[in-house]
């Protein structure tokens, strides 16, 4: 009985801590604004983001050379995005509010991935410019 109680409470706490941890990482990226270039590359039309764009953006991020400082963030947010996918699917069956919340969060993940892509493109350009510049 005690073990069951500890198990339920711990899993609930784990979910809450993980969600907050992921949000704390995403929050740092929300301060950045997206460049026109990344909007064009990622196919972001207008000011509207969709939760489904995350996978495509992540593929683009992986195509760019690594700066080496966002790999951990990407892993955490990717896990968070997967968890949100489960919540969204559960929400469809159980509660539309849960589904809406999960979609909101997935959009934040998309924005995070777009900023990561923007930074990597900027880094690639800087690298290229460095190589092209006369020594």
Partner 1 sequence: MLGPLDYAIMALTFLAELYVVVCLCVSKSRFRYLALNVFMLFAAGVTVGGVLALKHFGVTSQAYGYFYYYTDALLTIALFFVVMSFYQQVFQQMGVGKYVRLASIMLLSATAIFSYLVVRKMPTHHLTNRFVVEMSQNLYFVGVVLTYLLWGAVVKLRETRTRLIQLVLALGIFFSSEAASYALRNLFPSLEANILKWIPPIANTFLPLAWAYTFTKVPEDARLETARVTRRAPAPAGIAAHQHS
DSSP-assigned letter for residue 68: S
Minimal distance, residue 127 CB to partner 1, in Å: 21
| 14 burial level (CB within 10 Å; 0-12, 13-18, 19+) | exposed
How many other CB atoms are there within 10 angstroms of residue 25's CB atom? 16
Applying CB under 8 A, the site for partner 1 has a residue count of 42
Minimal distance, residue 105 CB to partner 1, in Å: 7
Write the CB contacts of 18 (distance below 8 Å, at least 6 apart in sequence).
Answer: 80, 83
Minimal distance, residue 128 CB to partner 1, in Å: 25
Structure tokens at 22: 């992921």
CA-closest candidate to residue 118, choices 53, 32, 51, 50: 32
Is 10 one of the binding residues for partner 1 (CB under 8 A)?
yes
Is 68 one of the binding residues for partner 1 (CB under 8 A)?
no
Using CB under 8 A, which of 41, 64, 101, 123 touches partner 1?
101
> Which residues sit at the interface with partner 1, rule CB under 8 A?
2-4, 6-7, 9-11, 13-14, 16-18, 20-21, 23-25, 27-28, 30-34, 47-50, 69, 72, 92, 96, 99-101, 103-105, 107-108, 111
């Amino acid at each position: 009985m005690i073990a069951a109680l500890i198990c339920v409470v711990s899993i609930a706490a784990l979910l809450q801590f993980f969600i907050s941890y992921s949000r704390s990482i995403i929050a740092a990226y929300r301060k950045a604004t997206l460049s026109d270039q990344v909007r064009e590359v990622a196919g972001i039309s207008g000011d509207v983001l969709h939760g489904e764009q995350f996978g495509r953006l992540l593929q683009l991020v992986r195509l760019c050379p690594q700066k080496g400082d966002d790999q951990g963030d990407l892993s955490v947010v990717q896990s968070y995005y997967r968890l949100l996918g489960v919540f969204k699917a559960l929400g469809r069956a159980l509660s539309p509010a849960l589904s809406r919340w999960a979609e909101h969060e997935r959009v934040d993940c998309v924005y995070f991935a777009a900023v990561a892509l923007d930074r990597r493109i900027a880094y690639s350009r800087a690298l290229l410019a460095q190589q092209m510049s006369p020594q």
